[in-house]
């Protein structure tokens, strides 16, 4: 498995970049007439417009977002640190991704159904379209199933890419990511490697000099264009551009609002619940009510009791933490620390509040939401983790069966010790504030 990770996260990126650079330079220098877009607009223009326009708008926005996070991670961190901005970024990213998906689907259908376009379509064109379709699909799936990627990528993919640039790959930053995310990354390297051998090379033919060239006067010699009033023709052209721009904007807004419209439609016109469905819904609501009641009882217990039992010292483990709720009604974990004494640490990630895993690997617990690793002994996160603040340690008291204190920790200093003959009967408690 390690060799496979080294291949896809180390060998493949370098190979893709080298092939892209060498192949592109060769094609531009020795095959200068082949690296344009090789547009098929003269063969079919309507499908091209409805596919190319949303695709290019969406992919340019997505690529710029990726590069902005990679090139300016500090600035990006300031943006995503605010939840409203994070939500806006995630929503826009998903919207542009859906725009890409719509565009690439139209382009794929156009390539496979139009006989005129098929005559100039190569096998590589179809391969690239399929790969782009899969890549966009993986991106959308990642955005939906592994949310807040614009935040957790700062501690995973961004430092990984920087380590590649520094020729010191740190694959440990990405090898534990979900399979869909890793597939998304691998497919990106494959597409980069295919640039010299496909139409994708046309990105190097962007006419940037067009923006700075002198003005040109165009004289139409076509009778069809000159027989009518030129001003009317210009007005008609402007009107067409305005209509197309409005339709494109409307299409994008519709994609972003599809979820809202779906919920509204279901609310007013959706099917009514059957007797069984109503019964199941009532059961769910009762379960939620019972959960709320249990939480209230737990809160009252925390207010009334000076000490809360966590469990026996013998059941604590070094590698597997035991979840419990502290006095602030926050999740926490109990481990067996050094000297066979308890180690209680908060389980609430200091980044966006997710609950960290109870499994300790190499003395570290993982926040699965945004891939932050925390050292259970110090509470400190990894240097490149999205989380910057350490997980706080909680005070504890170890007592025997008669309620006599054996050892305690007040959050700063440790007092007492536990004899081996008392270890099996020792119990671990959390105290109220200032009771240790």
Work out the burial of residue 121: count CB atoms within 10 Å of its CB; fewer than 13 is exposed, 13-18 middle, 19 or more buried. middle
76-375-408 Cα angle (round to 5): 130
Mean pLDDT in residue range 313-330? 84
Q: Are 191 and 335 found together in one domain?
A: no
pTM summary value = 0.53
Q: Which two tokens stand for residue 191?
A: 């597409």
- The answer to whether residues 55 and 188 belong to one domain is yes
When the pLDDT of each residue in the chain is averaged and rounded to a whole number, the result is: 80
Q: What is the pLDDT of residue 133?
A: 93
Query: Residue 435's pLDDT is what?
Result: 43
Q: Tokens 């940037």 identify what position?
A: 208
CA atoms within 13 A on the CB side of 355: 12
57 contact partners, CB below 8 Å, separation of at least 6: 96, 99, 103, 248, 252
Listed ranges 189-198, 297-306, 308-317, 368-377; the one with the highest mean pLDDT: 189-198
Output the pLDDT for position 135. Answer: 93
* Percent of the chain whose predicted confidence (pLDDT) is above 90: 13
Judged by average pLDDT, the poorest of 103-107, 369-373, 416-420 is: 416-420
Tokens of 421: 């003959």
Annotated binding site for heme b: 56, 66, 184, 202
Tokens of 164: 């590649």
Q: Do the domain assignments include residue 219?
A: no
The pLDDT score that the predictor gives to residue 410 is 81
Residue 260 covered by a domain: no
**296 occurs within a structural domain:** no
Q: What CATH number should be reported for the domain holding residue 73?
A: 1.20.950.20
Q: CA 372 to CA 41: how far, in whole Å? A: 48
Residue 362 forms part of a structural domain: yes
How many domains are contained in the chain? 2
**Cα gap 122→194, rounded to integer Å:** 14
- pLDDT higher than 60, residue 288: yes
409 exposure class (CB count in 10 Å sphere: 0-12, 13-18, 19+): buried
Crossing angle of the two packed helices 83-113 and 73-80, in degrees rounded to 10: 110
Q: How sure is the predictor about 188, in pLDDT bands with cuts at 50, 70 and 90?
A: very high
Grade residue 19 by pLDDT with cuts at 50, 70 and 90: very high
Does residue 273 or residue 337 have the better pLDDT?
337
Q: How many residues does the chain have?
A: 436
Does 133 lie in the same domain as 43? yes
How would residue 436 be classed by pLDDT, with cut points 50, 70 and 90? very low
**Cβ contact 351:386 at 8 Å:** yes
248 lies in the same domain as 380: no
- β-bridge partners, 348: 355
Residue 13 has pLDDT above 80, yes or no: yes
Same-domain check for residues 40 and 131: yes
Predicted local confidence at residue 190, as pLDDT: 94
Nearest to 311 by CA among 335, 327, 291, 331: 335
Residue of 161, 159, 166 lying closest to 189 (CA atoms): 161
Query: CATH no. for residue 359?
Result: 2.102.10.10
DSSP H/E element including 169: none
Give the tens place of pLDDT for each residue, 206-260: 666 665 666 666 665 555 554 555 555 555 566 666 667 777 776 666 666 655 5
- Quick one: 237 and 320 in the same domain? no
| Residue 195 and residue 20 in contact, taking contact as beta carbons nearer than 8 Å | yes
Is 426 domain-assigned?
Answer: yes
* Same domain for 139 and 54: yes
Asked if residue 118 and residue 241 are part of one domain, the reply reads yes
285 domain residue, yes or no: no
Domain of residue 142: give its range: 2-208+233-255
The annotation places the binding site at 56, 66, 184, 202
The number of helices, as runs of H, and strands, as runs of E, in the chain is 13, 10
Q: Are residues 240 and 319 in the same domain?
A: no
State percent of the chain over pLDDT 70.
78
Q: Inform me whether the pLDDT recorded for 59 exceeds 80.
A: yes
Would residue 297 count as lying in a domain?
no
Examine the pLDDT at 434 and tell me if it is beyond 50: no
How far, CA to CA in Å, does 359 sit from each of 184, 214, 313, 335, 342?
27, 65, 18, 10, 16
Establish if 220 belongs to a structural domain: no
Please give the average per-residue pLDDT across 272-295, as a whole number.
70
Q: CA-based angle 156:159:162, to the nearest 5?
A: 145
Q: Same domain, yes or no, for 250 and 323?
A: no
Range name among 37-51, 172-186, 238-252, 316-330 with the lowest pLDDT average: 238-252
SS3 of residue 198 by DSSP? coil
Label residue 298 by pLDDT band (50, 70, 90).
Answer: low
pLDDT tens across 380-431, in order? 988 878 888 899 998 988 888 787 888 888 878 888 777 777 777 888 888 8
Confidence bin at 147 (pLDDT 50/70/90)? confident
CB 156 within 8 Å of CB 170: no
120 and 6 in a common domain: yes
Do 249 and 312 fall into the same domain? no
């Amino acid at each position: 498995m390690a060799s496979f990770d080294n291949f896809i996260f180390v060998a493949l990126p370098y190979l893709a970049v080298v092939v892209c650079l060498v192949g592109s330079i060769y094609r531009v220098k020795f095959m200068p007439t082949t690296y344009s877009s090789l547009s098929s607009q003269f063969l079919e223009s309507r499908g091209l417009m409805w596919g190319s326009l949303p695709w290019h708008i969406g992919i340019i926005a997505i690529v710029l977002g990726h590069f902005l996070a990679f090139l300016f991670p500090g600035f990006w961190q300031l943006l995503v640190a605010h939840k409203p901005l994070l939500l806006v970024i995630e929503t826009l990213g998903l919207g542009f991704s859906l725009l890409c998906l719509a565009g690439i689907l139209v382009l794929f259908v156009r390539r496979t159904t139009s006989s005129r376009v098929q005559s100039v379509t190569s096998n590589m064109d179809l391969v690239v379209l399929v790969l782009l379709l899969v890549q966009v699909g993986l991106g959308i799936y990642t955005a939906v199933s592994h949310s807040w990627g614009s935040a957790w990528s700062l501690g995973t993919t961004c430092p990984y890419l920087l380590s590649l640039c520094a020729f010191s790959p740190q694959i440990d930053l990405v090898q534990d990511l979900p399979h869909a995310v890793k597939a998304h990354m691998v497919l990106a390297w494959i597409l980069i490697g295919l640039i010299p051998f496909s139409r994708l090379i046309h990105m190097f033919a962007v006419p940037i000099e067009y923006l700075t060239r002198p003005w040109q006067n165009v004289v139409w010699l076509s009778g069809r264009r000159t027989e009518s009033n030129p001003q009317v023709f210009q007005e008609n052209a402007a009107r067409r551009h305005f209509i197309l721009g409005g339709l494109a904007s409307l299409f994008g807004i519709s994609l972003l609002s599809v979820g809202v419209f779906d919920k509204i439609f279901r609310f007013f016109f959706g099917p009514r619940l059957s007797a069984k469905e109503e019964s199941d819904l009532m059961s769910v609501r009762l379960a939620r009510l019972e959960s709320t009641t249990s939480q209230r009882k737990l809160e009252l217990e925390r207010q009334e009791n000076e000490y809360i039992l966590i469990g026996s010292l013998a059941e604590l483990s070094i590698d597997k933490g035991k979840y419990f709720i502290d006095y602030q009604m926050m999740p926490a974990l109990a481990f067996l620390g050094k000297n066979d004494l308890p180690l209680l640490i908060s389980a609430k990630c200091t980044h966006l509040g997710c609950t960290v895993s109870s499994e300790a690997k190499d003395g570290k617990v993982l926040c699965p939401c945004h891939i932050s690793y925390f050292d259970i002994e110090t509470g400190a996160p990894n240097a490149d983790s999205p989380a910057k603040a350490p997980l706080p340690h909680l005070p504890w008291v170890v007592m025997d069966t008669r309620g006599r204190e054996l050892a305690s920790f007040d959050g700063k200093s440790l007092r007492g010790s536990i004899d081996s003959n008392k270890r099996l009967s020792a119990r671990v408690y959390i105290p109220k504030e200032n009771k240790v």
